[in-house]
Chains A and B, each alone.
Chain A
Amino acid sequence: MTTTNDVRPLLASVIRPSGGVWSRVLTSRQAWVGATMLLTLALWALVGPALHPWDATYVDLAAFGQGPSTRHWFGTNDIGQDVYAQVLVGLRKSLLVGLVAAPVATGLAAVVGAVAGLAGGWVDRALMAAVDLMLVIPAFYLLVLCSPVLARAGWPALALAIAALMWMVMARVVRGQTRSLRERGFVRAACFSGAPLWWVAVRHVWPNLASLLVADVTVGVGTAVLMEATMSYFGIGVRVPDVSLGTLLAAGGPAAATRPWLFFFPALALVVAVCAVSLVGDAVRDAIDAGGARG
């Protein structure tokens, strides 16, 4: 990571894109392609079901386990439910989990990292020890361990649990950046003039790390969507009556060789969604890296 001294606060440079990370993002073709894909998918998931004649839970008694046709675009499952409608509903839930989990995780990382970096001393040591501890047990194991509790609590709890397990590495990065910022004149001036810690964080640290945090949110959405799908695939994520891409993949997995449409359409939706998110995330990250004195 490089120091991001030429980064202006998010809004200022979007309004006035003159140099800096945001103008590089805005001129990046990759970012536009990713954002367009993502918006299209989100819009599709939002309004698609309204434009589609079949409801995700409706049972078509005339079509059990049929392949794609003009009547059912993505085919039907064993009990005659429309797979296209289910993919739309599942995509909506999966994206929702990602969009809830990622900002929470990044927020947590920003707070912990800034507090550790600014406070120093035992606060810093305690917080970094907590980060180390949480990295020792893989997130997947902790999620499995908590699955009986999560089963009772529904999908928002799952999203928050996923968020609680993906902030650690970013917290370390933010801490490192905060420590180097702390040595710079404007932050030292603020500290000497008696500004409280939260003010320094809000006014100086976070605006300077804005692009880094945005990149982390974007990448985090993809990670969270993948985590949700994996949890649901093994039966410990999103539960009935909720439908996500993960639960659809779990239902379609055993039939992948004989009735591929049950597995491949949800899988395709998942991969395309995560690819779209990563395109944007990578573009922001590349823009940050190109800004400093890299290599």
Chain B
Amino acid sequence: MLRYLARRAANALVLALAATCLGYVLASVALDPLVRFRGNNPPVPDEQIRHALAITGTDPNTPLASRLWSWLSGLAHGSLGTSVDNRPVTSEIAERAGTSLQLLVLGTVLGVGLGVLVGVVGAVRQHRWFDRVTTQGSFVVLATPTFVVAVLLMVGATRLNEAAGRQVIRFTGQYTPGHEGWAAVTDRASHLVLPTLALVIGLVAAFSRYQRAAMLDVLGTDLVRGARAMGHTQRSALVRHGVRVAMVPMSTLAVYTAGMVLAGATITELAFSWHGMGEYLLLAAQRGDVNAAAGTVACTAVLVLVLGMVADVLYAWLDPRVRL
């Protein structure tokens, strides 16, 4: 097990490094660090521009390779450089990652868990009403962009608040300023409801479909019947020999799935105007902030790989054929 994990981790490390370099190069090529100095009247003095570019290390006249090298050596010392507003990117990302992870973890656990459950029940009761409703429901949800789901939820919440005559659910930003103690906790929880719901709806739709298909494959084999013959109850046969085996095929796409979940969370977060990683990247792209963009991409790559590895280990643990 440890050797397998070590090999996976080494592989992930190489990929993370490559993705980080790719992110920096792309950011340097696609973003224009001079964009915020343009169109000023009176024009910003050259001296000042050069000074600002020197601080962020994004002077286009320096060769890209040496810019990348100095950024990477900064990274080796735990620094992602300085953003255009003279703040260390590392601390800004640490702040925003907390916000993003809150939604990501809550949404993923609920979404994947419920999705698997819905898929399994749908497969076991194939063609019954529950299966029909969830299959068609997830079909429509998968055809609906996440931000539309978010807007629909916000409209619903507005109606609810109007009907109740007070703010039952709050949904702009992560919290209302000015609350303290217990009130701050409930306020944050209230702000979490809709974004979590938006993310969970999409994830349940996606995962229930995978899980239903995989579960139907397993039900077609003699695994469950064999377990029944061995004296398991129907429920225990389904869970231990059906669901467990049905979850295995999803492992091949663990990294891809992790990326998908992360993108979903980012879009949800943006739709509810949270100050998370997605907003940071969007701002960076608009302001020509190379360091902020590269830092965000690097952190995302690491997060995707970590999520992928967690999923990998979970699946390996599920699959009785894998001996690590």
Q: Interface stretch among B79-87, B106-114, B179-187, B292-300? A: B292-300
Given known pairs A132-B255, A256-B155, the reply for A141 and B297 (CB within 8 Å) is yes
Given known pairs A138-B266, A140-B267, A275-B140, the reply for A145 and B217 (CB within 8 Å) is no
- A176 nearest CB neighbor, chain B only: B252
Give the number of residue pairs across the A-B interface with Cβ within 8 Å.
130
B119 beta carbon closer than 8 Å to chain A? no
Q: Which of B35, B147, B217, B304 contacts A137 (CB 8 A)?
A: B304
Assembled-state Cα–Cα distance A257/B253 (Å):
39
Is the beta-carbon distance between B18 and A138 smaller than 8 angstroms?
A: no
Min CB distance B50 to A, Å, is: 22
Assembled-state Cα–Cα distance A263/B12 (Å):
42
Is the beta-carbon distance between B282 and A236 smaller than 8 angstroms?
A: yes
A253 beta carbon closer than 8 Å to chain B? yes
Min CB distance B114 to A, Å, is: 22
Which of chain A's residues have a CB closer than 8 A to the CB of B97? Answer: none
Q: Which residue of B32, B148, B154, B286 has the most chain A CB atoms within 10 A of its CB atom?
A: B148
Assembled-state Cα–Cα distance A153/B30 (Å):
12
Assembled-state Cα–Cα distance A229/B148 (Å):
10
Which of chain B's residues have a CB closer than 8 A to the CB of A234? Answer: 147, 270, 282
Is the beta-carbon distance between B151 and A256 smaller than 8 angstroms?
A: yes
**What does DSSP make chain A's interface, helix, strand, loop or mixed?**
helix
A222 beta carbon closer than 8 Å to chain B? yes
Is the beta-carbon distance between B26 and A271 smaller than 8 angstroms?
A: no
Is the beta-carbon distance between A148 and B31 smaller than 8 angstroms?
A: yes
Which of chain B's residues have a CB closer than 8 A to the CB of A141? Answer: 263, 266, 281, 296-297, 300
Is the beta-carbon distance between A136 and B255 smaller than 8 angstroms?
A: yes
Q: Which of A133, A144, A260 contacts B285 (CB 8 A)?
A: A144
Is the beta-carbon distance between B285 and A145 smaller than 8 angstroms?
A: yes
- A233 nearest CB neighbor, chain B only: B147
Assembled-state Cα–Cα distance A133/B297 (Å):
12
Min CB distance B200 to A, Å, is: 18
Given known pairs A138-B262, A138-B304, A140-B263, the reply for A294 and B158 (CB within 8 Å) is no
Classify chain B: how many residues form its interface, as a range: 35 or more
B27 beta carbon closer than 8 Å to chain A? yes
| Chain A 135-192 interface residues, beta-carbon cutoff 8 Å to B | 135-142, 144-149, 168-169
- A228 nearest CB neighbor, chain B only: B145
Q: Which of B26, B32, B154, B267 contacts A257 (CB 8 A)?
A: B154
Is the beta-carbon distance between B285 and A147 smaller than 8 angstroms?
A: yes
Q: Which of A136, A233, A249 contacts B301 (CB 8 A)?
A: A136
Min CB distance B27 to A, Å, is: 6
Assembled-state Cα–Cα distance A146/B148 (Å):
24
Is the beta-carbon distance between A145 and B293 smaller than 8 angstroms?
A: yes
A85 beta carbon closer than 8 Å to chain B? no
Given known pairs A136-B255, A137-B297, A169-B253, the reply for A263 and B151 (CB within 8 Å) is yes
Assembled-state Cα–Cα distance A148/B139 (Å):
34
Min CB distance A136 to B, Å, is: 4
Given known pairs A137-B19, A137-B23, the reply for A249 and B270 (CB within 8 Å) is no
Which of chain B's residues have a CB closer than 8 A to the CB of A139? Answer: 259, 263
Is the beta-carbon distance between A138 and B260 smaller than 8 angstroms?
A: yes
Is the beta-carbon distance between B143 and A278 smaller than 8 angstroms?
A: yes
Which of chain A's residues have a CB closer than 8 A to the CB of B256? Answer: 135, 168-169
Min CB distance A106 to B, Å, is: 17
A280 beta carbon closer than 8 Å to chain B? no
Is the beta-carbon distance between A146 and B30 smaller than 8 angstroms?
A: yes
B288 beta carbon closer than 8 Å to chain A? yes
Assembled-state Cα–Cα distance A278/B31 (Å):
36
Complex A-B: 20 CB contacts under 8 Å: A133-B22, A137-B259, A137-B297, A140-B267, A141-B300, A144-B282, A145-B30, A145-B285, A146-B30, A148-B31, A148-B32, A229-B147, A253-B151, A256-B152, A257-B154, A267-B148, A270-B148, A274-B143, A275-B140, A295-B220
What are the 3 closest A-B residue pairs judged by CB atoms, nearest first?
A: A295-B220, A274-B143, A295-B217
Given contacts A144-B278, A145-B297, 12 further A-B contacts (CB under 8 A): A135-B256, A136-B301, A137-B19, A137-B22, A140-B266, A141-B266, A144-B285, A145-B30, A148-B35, A263-B151, A267-B151, A270-B148
